[in-house]
Amino acid sequence: MGISRDGTSNSGFKFAYFPCLTITQIVHVVYKKNKKEYALKILNKAQLVKKKVVKSAMVEKDALIRLGTQGTFHPGIVRLHHCFHDSAHVCA
């Protein structure tokens, strides 16, 4: 994924970590090209399997995709802009 703990990356984003006590991490991300801010949710694949919550993660992703493609957006629900993964993590 190319993210280091000091907030640098090779992807054009600047990162700030917010530690969580669950299997996810929420990261404040700034896209360097246009200075837009995003929240990046990082899920650990091994922990998803260990805690048997893979299906829940997939249902959440599918729900966010459906809600984001309806043309109207609820102000209380975050929009899913991208979803990607590597060998150890799923990011949305």
> What type of residue sits at position 84?
F
CATH topology assigned to domain 13-91: Phosphorylase Kinase; domain 1 (3.30.200)
* Domain locations in the chain as residue ranges: 13-91
CA–CA distances in Å: residue 11 to residues 8, 24, 60: 9, 21, 25
Question: Which residue has tokens 């669950």?
Answer: 22
**pLDDT tens-digit readout, 3-52:** 445 555 555 656 555 555 568 888 888 888 999 998 888 898 988 898 89
pTM over 0.85: no
